[in-house]
Amino acid sequence: MSESTQLAGKHVLLGLSGGIACYKSAELVRLLIKAGATVQVMMSEAAEAFITPVTMQALSNQPVLMSQWDAREPNNMAHINATRRADVMLVAPASADFIAKLVQGRADDLLSLTALARPAERCPLLVAPAMNREMWAHPATQRNIAQLRADGAVVLGPGNGDQACGEIGDGRMLEAAELRDELIAFFQPKLLAGKQLLITAGPTFEPIDPVRGLTNRSSGKMGFAIARAAAEAGAEVTLVAGPVHLATPRGVRRVDVQTALQMYDAVLPRAAAHDVFIATAAVADWRPAQINEHKIKKDGSSASASAAPSFELTENPDILAAVAALADRPFCVGFAAESRDLLKHAREKLLRKGVPLIVGNLGPATFGRDDNALLLVDAQGQRELLHNDKLSLARELIREIATRLHDKP
């Protein structure tokens, strides 16, 4: 699924209450539309002090709704019509005052009136809090947030960091891209709700000396995409990541490691507590038997200046096979990154590891890229997931795993 279709067919009612974070809402409108959504903006009077309706209308290409007395609606009922057309109502920013209004059921302006009048079963309410850290931490706000969740609203954030007042802490509205991704995730089917997934991703790095090591070209992008897709599907996800420079998907617990031994030590104690283990990481098969204490120098200091250094290798533990051999093993999914004879090697790995599913791909064709093609291999046969972006493939794989979990006796 391309970036421009992830929210295709969705109509978002975007509400803005008063707060400096309104500037982020302009970018949010742009990103939602770029993802395929249509956006109707509704602003409180306080929001107009921070950003103009003209800006929001220009970005959304829709008239901005501002007053419950706006006669442009044929029946003069914008608070009814707006939510009947919407797939979701997202309030971003949601100030402390507006959150209090929602909890109390107040309806003294168009935005609060609309939130109260929406058909909750067809138009869910998402709120992105935005306020000073002390306001966020105040017991009254925390009581209101708890009640808001109990009433069925979804609270997105807040984030942590620099605030407009100069203070630092919780209370920032999430960034526009984060809110877009949260909305995309919200619409994903919750096929793995209540399940716990353990995923490995990226390469490992096996040091030779303090500055050099053995590694591979894996970027970790496929594993991170699977972690995101699993979290979108409602799972609790733990991601054990080798040395990669990728942002952690929201809602995913991350454990960083470098070597294969460290990955083994991170995975094995956790594995039995999970429903699914997905071994996406390209783990080094071998490591130096000994690590040189100092950098191996090419400076003529060796007995033979022209001789290349040599070192003994020892085999790394097989993480996937070890998890598959546990008495209370999770459902195990292995990855096979091959350079040729993909089906042959994937099937051999399926039998050798003793797992129900191997996902094969051609490593040189995918390392570092944002797209891929996958081959699913099990005891019954094989099925190809056609070339696509890695997140779309990850969602397909998660659907496949969810089906297999459902069918498992």
Q: How far apart (Å, rounded) are the C-alpha atoms in residues 180 and 174?
A: 10
Rounded to 5°, the CA angle 29-33-52 comes to 25
For 363-374, b/e burial (b = at least 16 CB within 10 A) is: beebbeeeebbb
246 is written with which tokens?
Answer: 């990728």
Catalytic residue positions, numbered: 165
- What end-to-end distance do the CA atoms of the chain give, in Å? 32
Contacts 24+ apart (CB under 8 A), 322-330: 322/264, 322/268, 323/267, 323/268, 323/271, 323/277, 323/279, 324/353, 324/354, 324/355, 325/354, 326/271, 326/272, 328/272, 329/271, 329/272, 329/277, 330/198, 330/271, 330/272, 330/274, 330/275, 330/276, 330/277
Cβ distance 83 to 117 under 8 Å?
Answer: yes
Q: Residue 54, exposed/middle/buried by CB under 10 A (0-12, 13-18, 19+)?
A: exposed
Count the residues in the chain.
409
DSSP of 189-236: --TTTT-EEEEEESB--EESSSS-EE-----SHHHHHHHHHHHHTT-E
Torsion of CA 300, 305, 310, 311, to 10 degrees: -30
Interaxial angle between packed helices 221-232 and 390-407, expressed in degrees from 0 to 180 and rounded to the nearest 10: 50
